[in-house]
Amino acid sequence: VTPVFTTSPTDVASVAGRDVQILCSAQGEPTPIITWSKDGVQLTESGKFHLTSEGFLTIRDVGPADQGRYECIARNSIGHASTNMLLSVHVPEGNRTGDSFVESSIQEAIFSVDSAINSTRRELFDRNPRTPNDLLALFRYPRDPFTVERARAGEIFERTLQIIQEHVRGGLKVDMNGTAYNYHYNNLVSPYYLDLIANLSGCTAHRHVPNCSDICFHRRYRTQDGTCNNLQHPMWGASLTAFERLLKPVYENGFSAPRGLGGAALHNGHQLPLPRVISTTLVGTETVTPDDRYSHLLMQWGQFLDHDMDLTVAALSQARFSDGRPCSEACTDDPPCFPIAVPPDDPRVRGGGARCMFFIRSSPVCGSGMTSLLMNSVFPREQINQLTSYIDASNVYGSTERESAEVRDLASQRGLLKQGVIQRSGKSLLPFATGPPTECMRDERESPIPCFLAGDQRANEQVALTALHTLWLREHNRIATELLRLNPHWDGDTIYHEARKIVGAQMQHITYAHWLPKILGDVGMKRMGDYRGYDPNVNGGIFNSFATAAFRFGHTLINPVLHRLNENFQPIPEGHLSLRQAFFSPYRVVNEGGIDPLLRGLFGVAGKMRVPAELLNLELTEKLFHMAHTVALDLAAMNIQRGRDHAIPPYNDFRVFCNLTAAADFEHLRNEIKNPDVREKLRRLYGTPLNIDLWPALIAEDIIPSTRVGPSLMCLFLTQFSRLRDGDRFWYESPGVFTPAQLTQIKQASLARVLLCGKMKNIGINTKSLSRLINFIHGNFLHPHMPPVNPAATWKSWVSDCRTRGQFRAISGHFRTRRSTEFSFPEDQPSRRKQKRASSLRNREKLSNATIEGDAGSFGGYKNFVLDVHNTIASLRNQIRVLESRLSREHCVTTDGGRQSEGSSWDKDECTKCQCKDGQVMCLIETCPQATCPNPVKMAGQCCPVCHEYP
């Protein structure tokens, strides 16, 4: 029987600070499950929300942020029903308890946060890294100063409110990090003082509205930071914005305290197990089963892809804000420290070793965790995604304008990326990063070679990842060089953006056409469905649960050894590398054969298979960032701790979200986790399935046949990757992004031919020694027979740049802005942007002309493209008819409605000379050089002001 509501919720009006209960119940057969959602995000049990078994919802300490429409949903296997109600909240005026402490607290917060950050920077950058903690901190430390300032502001804002709370603690019922819920956070500070804290902390300075007014540029190209992709919601998917949420967070206190903080609180009658104990009991394995279908490249592409989509900004300090003591020594949950406790019987610390593993919290978004700067209300803490969410090759080009400028070769004005050492093969490596000592110079006895520079700061994490970064650098420069050869009139910016657009499209195609089918199988790809076009109502942002848990499934696919093979697929003289030898070791690329041996090892060696008893190899759980005489880190424990830091709801809540049965006991997991030993380990660890952390449960699920994911992972992958595709205005298959012929070229992209065969010397892909590995080079993830993307046929003079938009390039001859003699050549220009602004007059001519030149020959041979060819030819015929009508005209129509005869010339103003040619108005605009005197004089009849020399 389909669910029917027996009690429906009604609208509620409440005063801020009170608890509100909303009733909802339903009956049906089977008995329906009741869930609640707000603004499309499912609510979960936490310090903020309480859901009873009957379906009643309690919202604790309501504030303006809680206002809105709540939906009650009843589901069973037969169907579902929903009803909703509206909650409104009134905030009374008046002073708050902590107002008198604001000014002194903000000064104390600024001093303590800045002191801790400066101490950390001295420790990290004034010497070579000496511990795994140093390596981890350097690895994650933001390199863009704007990112640093934004993270600092968020820390100061939150620290200020913590100090205020401490001042008024004696009069409150609980402290801010407690687990009791009768403290009213909304009453801590009044709106006026919240604005003052926002201003003094720096939060207000970092609020900005992106400028999407340059329609010509934003219609054709992505911004570096992802803004203006969605013109209705220009911050969706942009870098340095908060992660999205599928389910509401489950902070211990409802707002900011990590799940399980302190370890003593009971959750459903049980304490949460230590992440380190979960790792040693359930996750770590010495045994590795080879994948019988796919090579290690499957894992490596996943990591490379992940580094295009998300990077959480970590706290800028390794020391406690309260007293500056290092987190690794204190072993206390004192912000930003959130150490991983190590039990006394742990094999790592027997004999008096460390009591904890180093771990610091992620930085908060400014204002989250305590209050909203816009609504003066309590909001849960959110974390910052440092990257653009879209699959746009940000790991090659960077996610900010500053990062882009760092990796571009701006001196040549050929649209290239910077290159590094040129090898004997003639192929270049990545350029070296400059600046203070880095994580790659941790041991001077090995090599003084610094880290490589790439669009993502994690490019040096391990050398196989470095190899893929190198491939895409070469691919960009190959395409840019070809575009310049075909279109020598293009400037460096046009070449760069066109090549970047092509590279990003190739990555999208390889991911969705080649990689995802291996991960999700036919069943998953059918559920995702074909691309149906851009949907501006879809937010393409990355979900916190995807970045923090779901996509970390790839850690289970990592082999403990990186193989390095020669042209005959035999080990090179320097041998293979254990993972701990591969971390932050660019010298092994420079001095030990380049990237070719690593690439052969990726596609020529079987990957690691995930089986229930073999999850993460010990190189990751026991030897991560291992250094002599130090305690290594544990990636599995860090993943679990990060999930609690981000307040990711438990596994059971995601089962409900994914329409799986809610597990009341561990036997209810038998369909997804069939191995009884694994279920028994989970029972001993957690006591109840209601407490299981998301990440270990996702990797413990049995994989669906012909896929590499379990049911819950399948659900989360489909949700995220569908939104990344459908919510991207520049998706490569979206009509208008590429011409049909160009799209055909893009769809030929594959890792084998385009990114391996075309870039490696003596790849040996057809050698007999490789034939025995053919089942690992399986399906279409590697296509040795496919040619690389060739711009020659379809990108010649195709681009209509923003200086000459509206002009048919073949006819206009690309009239250039006339330069004064001081800047006669493009390389002498002081600023291309100034020229574009000066050319804006010409753009306002608003001539309606064709912008695409067809090349009939480029369509030959594409049998599957008949319909597109037909439509394109029809479009070209229409353009030709329009062109012919213009050519037959004996006059031109100017912007003011006047007429000029064919062949006539006139001065539109002192700087603009126009001509009527072939029915078109063509204008040349003179660009004035920068004056060499302080007070130049404008002379009548002259465009440029002049300098008079006085005796």
Active site residue ranges: 307
598-609: buried (b, 16+ CB within 10 Å) or exposed (e) per residue?
bbbbbbbbbbbb
Distance (Å, whole) CA 152 – CA 146:
10
DSSP string, 160-223: HHHHHHHHTGGGSSS-TTSS-----GGGSS-HHHHHHHHHHHTTGGG--------HHHHHH---
CA-wise closest residue to 70 among 84, 54, 56, 89 = 84
Distance (Å, whole) CA 47 – CA 363:
21
CA-wise closest residue to 241 among 282, 285, 210 = 210
Task: Read off the tokens for 130.
Answer: 């000496």
Residues 6+ apart with CB under 8 A from 256: 158, 176, 364, 369, 370, 380, 381
**Percent helix, strand, coil in the chain (nearest 5)?**
35, 15, 50
Residue 717 sits at φ, ψ, to 5 deg, of -65, -45
CA-wise closest residue to 709 among 692, 697, 723 = 697
Task: Read off the tokens for 429.
Answer: 């490596």
Runs of H (alpha helix) within 529-595? 544-548, 579-582, 586-591
Task: Read off the tokens for 499.
Answer: 């090549």
Distance (Å, whole) CA 501 – CA 495:
10
The position carrying tokens 């089942």 is 775
Distance (Å, whole) CA 190 – CA 182:
19
Q: Identify whether the C-beta of residue 922 lies closer than 8 Å to the C-beta of residue 905.
A: no
555 labelled ligand-binding: yes
Q: Identify whether the C-beta of residue 621 lies closer than 8 Å to the C-beta of residue 634.
A: yes
Task: Read off the tokens for 380.
Answer: 């849960």
Residues 6+ apart with CB under 8 A from 412: 492
Runs of H (alpha helix) within 347-462? 394-397, 401-407
CA torsion, ordered 861, 865, 871, 876, to nearest 10 deg: -30
CA-wise closest residue to 661 among 32, 50, 56 = 32
By CB neighbour count within 10 A (0-12 exposed, 13-18 middle, 19+ buried), where does 913 fall?
Answer: middle
List Cα–Cα distances, 402 to 240, 504, 845, in angstroms. Answer: 13, 19, 34
Q: 773's torsion region: left (phi>0), alpha (psi -120 to 50) or beta? A: alpha
List Cα–Cα distances, 548 to 245, 332, 544, 698, 798, in angstroms. Answer: 11, 23, 6, 12, 42
Task: Read off the tokens for 399.
Answer: 């996610």
Half-sphere exposure of 944 (CA within 13 A, CB side): 17
List Cα–Cα distances, 487 to 474, 699, 794, 799, 849, in angstroms. Answer: 20, 50, 12, 10, 20
Q: Identify whether the C-beta of residue 143 lies closer than 8 Å to the C-beta of residue 309.
A: no
Task: Read off the tokens for 711.
Answer: 């049911």
Establish whether the linkage from the previous residue to 336 is cis, with ω within 30° of 0: yes
**Binding-site sequence positions:** 555
**Binding-site sequence positions for heme b:** 555
